[in-house]
Amino acid sequence: MGFFKSKKGSVISDYFQLQEDIAGYSNGYMYEVTLYDDHLEIIPLSKQNKLLLNYNQITDVFYGGKTELIQKPKSVIGRALVGGMIFGGTGAVIGAVSGTGMKTEKKTHLYFIISYTSSDGEDKYIQFEDTRMYKGLKLSKKLKELVHIESKSTGDIQL
């Protein structure tokens, strides 16, 4: 099986980064989420100890983003080089001066969250970050369809 292909016999699969420790799985690592006709599998890249969830256990599915503002320093050297190339020495000085301070940049994180009822009847959830942004939205829509959850539009998580 290739890295970008679905597992044989599955409906769809993709890789996500786990955000919280759950059932012996560590956060920060990539896991493959694979949908089959009657269940979902979460498999570590080591292909050992997969976690199975039957669709009748799943209570909700969310796929959406959180946007954060990040402060980054401006590039003094880059601006000095561009200013120097265009206007010479004076341009380099003016470019360097304009490169002081901070700039604001937006960064969006996409999350895939599965709410479910555990075998002991407790309500739980599994939260992943879609770092690859490859098939996450398509997988979440397909999961909602298989679980028979009414599909709502994705939204932003407000901080």
Q: What is the pLDDT of residues 107-138, one digit of tens each?
A: 888 999 999 998 888 999 999 999 888 888 99
The predicted model gives 47-69 an average pLDDT of 87
Model's pTM, two decimal places? 0.68
DSSP string, 26-49: PTTSEEEEEE-SSEEEEEETT--S
Task: From residue 155, give the alpha-carbon distance in Å to each of 64, 105, 118.
Answer: 5, 20, 26
The pLDDT of residue 103 is above 90: no
What is the average pLDDT value for the chain, to the nearest integer? 81
User: For residue 23, which of 126, 116, 95 has the smallest C-alpha distance?
Assistant: 126
Res. 142 pLDDT band, cuts 50 70 90: very high
pLDDT for res 6: 52
pLDDT for res 59: 92
The pLDDT of residue 91 is above 80: no
pLDDT for res 99: 67
pLDDT for res 156: 45
User: Is the distance from CB of 43 to CB of 50 less than 8 angstroms?
Assistant: yes
Q: Which residues contact 126 (CB under 8 A, 6 or more apart)?
A: 18, 20, 22, 42, 113, 114, 116
The rounded distance, in Å, linking the Cα atoms of 100 and 114 is 44
Res. 63 pLDDT band, cuts 50 70 90: very high
The rounded distance, in Å, linking the Cα atoms of 36 and 87 is 62
Structure token digits, residue 34: 């694979």
More confident residue, 154 or 52: 52
3 state DSSP class of 73? strand
Percentage of residues in the chain with pLDDT exceeding 70?
86
The rounded distance, in Å, linking the Cα atoms of 27 and 119 is 22
